């Protein structure tokens, strides 16, 4: 690998492109298709005026990148964060294309983001920003075009406002325009826990393959947002031993296992993990490289880089976040024989249940939670098997296998549809 600065290494677009190029090369993808798939189909930048509570006007910058609509409407979340960049949204949009193809659901990929600090905004300001952002995107989104969903710092309430704004413009209720909505307005049962549940399903498959049991498997989870907390709760309930929970503001470690339910209640009451009595507090960076069987980075990008990859001590890396590992770190982890469940497979439970939500909205018929969970399990298990089999047959690592499988599926569809000129 060519030498690069940490800034280059951690540019998510570079991370995505490096893996894409490697997989495309191994697939012998022809040059034209390579160009089509490497770059997003459409990139929108919007400037969103918002009346703030102090009476002043503020203008926020937002993005929506639609990478591909080859296999169906583009699909992907929207994040609110002060450091969202176009390159990041581009990478995340491409990852959504590959993710939907890995689990074989009929969507392309997209992602959105608004540069803002939602923790410093009132509910009213957030609502006005969300509605105006949606209005700016009005002709580019829709159930058959592009379907947003929650991501970092966005939630069911934000999706409800997006759905309502879109519906007001259409003069009719259009629930299928976004997923991750509250259940009473077209959300799906099981969607909230879906990403965490999907992580558990693929971890179950991985430990079975490595001949381990849940009870003898120690897990460290980084991040206690929607993805991390649900993964930790479900896995602890199922018998895994959760020994560590890493958060920037306070991390916990107990080699005998942490009562995750109690942590979750504690965090709800205190807003932090710090001070939780039944575990030691730990340094977040140290806990990430502490010995365990499964490490689940479920926070943001670039947590495992060339700077710490050689100190990682897990046997299985289950990527709950998008892009938690840089391309340079991949090589180091491969030398250490870490079994990687790559993000585009590992966290695909969220978008898979979004697909169920979209289907239910369009049917107007809503499934029991057990049906949602069963269907999710079936899809996640077969995607895991597809990726692992592909890796073994083609003698590549799991990540490159997932990319190859996905790129091949998308390229096949594009060849079938042909290029409109």
CA distance 40 to 86: 11
CA distance 138 to 313: 47
CA distance 282 to 353: 34
CB under 6 A: which stretch of 198-206, 256-264, 286-294, 347-355 binds ligand GLU? 347-355
Site string for ligand GLU, 316-335 (x = CB under 6 A): ------x-------------
Helices H / strands E in the chain, number of each: 15, 12
CA distance 83 to 282: 26
CA distance 178 to 402: 26
Question: For residues 77 and 223, which CB has a smaller minimum distance to ligand GLU in the complex?
Answer: 77
CB of residue 104 vs ligand GLU: minimum separation in angstroms? Answer: 15
Site string for ligand GLU, 94-133 (x = CB under 6 A): ----------------------------------------
Q: Are 184 and 173 within 8 A, CB to CB?
A: no
Beta strands in 192-292 (DSSP E): 218-222, 241-246, 251-253, 280-282
Phi and psi dihedrals of 58, rounded to 5?
-125, 150
Question: For residues 178 and 273, which CB has a smaller minimum distance to ligand GLU in the complex?
Answer: 178
Query: Taking CB under 6 A as the rule, does residue 68 contact ligand GLU?
Result: no
| Contact pick of 12, 40, 62, 77 for ligand GLU (by CB under 6 A) | 77
Tell me, yes or no, if 111 is annotated catalytic.
yes
CA distance 111 to 88: 9
| Contact pick of 16, 114, 350, 390 for ligand GLU (by CB under 6 A) | 350
| Contact pick of 151, 164, 193, 319 for ligand GLU (by CB under 6 A) | 151
CB under 6 A: which stretch of 239-247, 252-260, 348-356, 383-391 binds ligand GLU? 348-356
Question: For residues 76 and 250, which CB has a smaller minimum distance to ligand GLU in the complex?
Answer: 76
Task: Name the catalytic one among 111, 120, 315, 368.
Answer: 111
Q: How many residues can be counted in the chain?
A: 421
Question: For residues 16 and 322, which CB has a smaller minimum distance to ligand GLU in the complex?
Answer: 322
Site size with ligand GLU, rule: CB under 6 A: 12
Query: Taking CB under 6 A as the rule, does residue 347 contact ligand GLU?
Result: yes
Beta-bridged to residue 242, according to DSSP, are 219
| Contact pick of 91, 298, 351, 383 for ligand GLU (by CB under 6 A) | 351
Question: For residues 92 and 304, which CB has a smaller minimum distance to ligand GLU in the complex?
Answer: 92
Query: Taking CB under 6 A as the rule, does residue 179 contact ligand GLU?
Result: yes
CA distance 242 to 254: 8
| Contact pick of 19, 75, 192, 267 for ligand GLU (by CB under 6 A) | 75
CB of residue 280 vs ligand GLU: minimum separation in angstroms? Answer: 32
Q: Are 222 and 228 within 8 A, CB to CB?
A: yes
Structure tokens at 266: 């504690």
Closest-CA residue to 12 (of 322, 407, 334): 322
CB under 6 A: which stretch of 53-61, 70-78, 291-299, 390-398 binds ligand GLU? 70-78
Query: Taking CB under 6 A as the rule, does residue 76 contact ligand GLU?
Result: yes
CA distances (Å), origin 362, targets 36, 156, 157, 358, 391: 31, 19, 21, 6, 36
Question: Sign (positive/negative) of CA torsion 206, 209, 212, 213?
Answer: positive
Which residues form the interface with ligand GLU (CB under 6 A)?
Answer: 75-77, 149, 151, 179-180, 322, 347, 350-351, 354
- Active-site positions read 111
């Amino acid at each position: 690998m060519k030498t690069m600065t940490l800034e280059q290494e951690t540019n998510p677009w570079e991370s995505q492109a490096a893996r894409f190029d490697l997989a495309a090369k191994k697939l012998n993808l022809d040059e034209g298709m390579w160009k089509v798939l490497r770059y997003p189909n459409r990139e929108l930048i919007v400037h969103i005026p918002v009346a703030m509570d102090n009476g002043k006007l503020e203008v926020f910058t937002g993005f929506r990148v639609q990478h591909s609509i080859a296999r169906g409407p583009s699909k992907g979340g929207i994040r609110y964060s002060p450091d969202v960049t176009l390159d990041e949204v581009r990478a995340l949009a491409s990852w959504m294309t590959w993710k939907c193809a890995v689990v074989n659901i009929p969507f392309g990929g997209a992602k959105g983001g608004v540069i803002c600090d939602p923790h410093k905004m009132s509910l009213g300001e957030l609502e006005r920003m969300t509605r105006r952002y949606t209005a700016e995107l009005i002709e580019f989104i829709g159930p058959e075009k592009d379907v947003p969903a929650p991501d970092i710092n966005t939630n069911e309430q934000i999706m409800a406002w997006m759905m309502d704004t879109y519906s007001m413009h259409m003069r009719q209720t259009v629930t299928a325009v976004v997923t991750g909505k509250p259940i009473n307005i077209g959300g799906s049962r099981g969607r909230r826990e879906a990403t965490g549940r999907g992580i558990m399903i693929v971890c179950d498959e991985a430990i079975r393959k490595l001949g381990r049991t849940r009870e003898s498997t120690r897990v460290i989870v980084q991040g206690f947002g929607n993805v991390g907390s649900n993964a930790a709760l479900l896995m602890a309930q199922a018998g895994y031993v959760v020994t560590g929970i890493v958060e920037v503001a306070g991390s916990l470690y107990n080699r005998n296992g942490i009562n995750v339910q109690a942590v979750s209640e504690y965090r709800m009451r205190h807003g932090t993990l710090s001070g939780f009595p039944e575990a030691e507090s730990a340094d977040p960076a140290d806990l990430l490289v502490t010995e365990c069987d499964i490490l689940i980075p479920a926070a943001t990008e670039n947590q495992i880089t060339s700077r710490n990859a050689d100190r990682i001590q897990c046997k299985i890396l289950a990527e709950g976040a998008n892009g938690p590992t840089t391309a340079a770190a991949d090589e180091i982890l491969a030398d250490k024989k870490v079994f990687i469940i790559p993000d585009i497979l590992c966290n695909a439970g969220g978008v898979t249940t979004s697909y169920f939500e979209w289907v239910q909205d369009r049917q107007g018929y809503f499934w029991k939670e057990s049906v949602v969970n069963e269907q999710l399990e079936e899809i996640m298990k077969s995607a895991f098997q597809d990726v692992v089999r592909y890796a073994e047959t083609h003698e590549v690592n799991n990540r490159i296998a997932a990319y190859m499988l996905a790129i091949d599926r998308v390229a096949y569809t594009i060849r079938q549809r042909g290029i409109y000129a």
